[in-house]
Amino acid sequence: TNMFCKSKESYKYYSELKTAASVSSEHIGQQFPNLFYIKFHRQTTETGDGIEEPIFIRDKYSKGITFGTFDLFHYGHNNILARCKNFCNYLYIGLSSDELNERKGKNSVDNYEKRKEVIECANLGDEIFKEESLEQKNDYVIQTGAEILMMGDDWIGAFDWVSCDVLYMERTPNISTTLLKTMMKILPQEV
Ligand code: CTP
């Protein structure tokens, strides 16, 4: 899975592990791409001669968060939520309110309750809450205690300002709500 992290150092670490993995899977226990739950967390250890050495801890995050409209839920949505879930033990999904969609000029086909119900059926998140405003991203991060915010790579760089780690993951190609909406318009009306 392609991923982009807020910290260059973490990304370098990830790439190095990936190279090591192609030589020996022993080093990290698993072959890529299965290893997509790295906690990019630095900790320093005292070496014998008193020099502090950084080491990376590799672990799942305990809480993660993602956001979206998830209108006309499709396999791209399912795919990203499944990957988010692989990075954390507890996944919060900030589902945009109908008012927020309207403000963005992107009215959803399904209303908030319907979109929420469909995500619940997919059973990939642990808690769904209403996202009322884009600017409040960091407030949601703080309120939930999320340690990582995950989004599709159409958002690269957009949320680097939040206080937790950020990960942008590759979008699933050739599917989007926009595409589905377009297709709905060209199909004949229901009889
Ligand atoms: N997403 C994805 N792959 C897709 C479509 C969406 O990984 N093919 C991700 C987005 O990057 C985002 C989340 O799913 O992190 C919710 O995206 P949303 O905007 O609700 O869905 P889109 O299909 O992108 O909707 P639109 O066409 O209206 O932009």
pLDDT digits (tens, 9 = 90+) for 118-157: 999 999 999 999 999 999 999 999 999 999 899 988 888 8
Highest-confidence range of 11-15, 104-108, 152-156, by mean pLDDT?
Answer: 104-108
Cα–ligand 1 centroid distance for 82 (angstroms): 13
Rounded to two decimals, the pTM is 0.79
Identify the pLDDT of residue 95. Answer: 98
**Residues pairing with 42 in the sheet:** 56
Each residue's pLDDT tens digit, 56-76: 545 678 899 999 999 999 999
Cα–ligand 1 centroid distance for 68 (angstroms): 7
Cα–ligand 1 centroid distance for 154 (angstroms): 8
Pocket of ligand 1 (CB under 6 A): 68-70, 76-77, 80, 106, 151-152, 154, 171-172, 175-178
Residues labelled catalytic: 104, 106
Kindly give the number of the ligand 1 atom that is closest to the alpha carbon of 154. 11
Which residue has the CA at smallest separation from atom 25 of ligand 1?
177
